[in-house]
Amino acid sequence: MIATIALLTSMTAVIGVGVAVWFGQWREGRPDKVIADQYRSRVVVTMVDGETFAGMLDSADKTHIRLLDAEGALPGKDPQKVDGALILPRGRVSYWQIP
């Protein structure tokens, strides 16, 4: 009887830790509410090197953002249409705007 209670207590603790770890990872991958509210909005993203991209914000997480129907431009150059989705690393994003 005592062995059964100890086993159930151990299993409950392991499951609890597993759920806590999973929830933490799930939460880390989610964008914050401010960004999530902008999905399907046109945004302009400026990278740290000055390159600029404009497109429709499709998704974002802690590490990347994805733009659809995007075009990019280097400072002083004409915009160039991007073929397909554009995935940008958030670590290289200087700032983004919602025109």
For the chain, residues with pLDDT lower than 70 are 1, 3, 6-8, 10-11, 13-14, 16-34
H or E, element range at 42: strand 42-47
37 and 83 share a domain? yes
Domain of 2 in residue numbering reads as: 1-30
Instruction: Give tens-digit pLDDT for 84-94.
Output: 899 999 999 99
**What is the amino acid identity at position 76?**
G
**What is the amino acid identity at position 40?**
R
pTM over 0.75: no
Give, as one character, the DSSP assignment of residue 32. Answer: P
How far, in Å, are 7, 15, 32, 71, 75 from residue 62 at the CA level? 38, 26, 9, 23, 27
81 and 44 share a domain? yes
61 and 74 share a domain? yes
Token pair in block for residue 16 = 């609890």
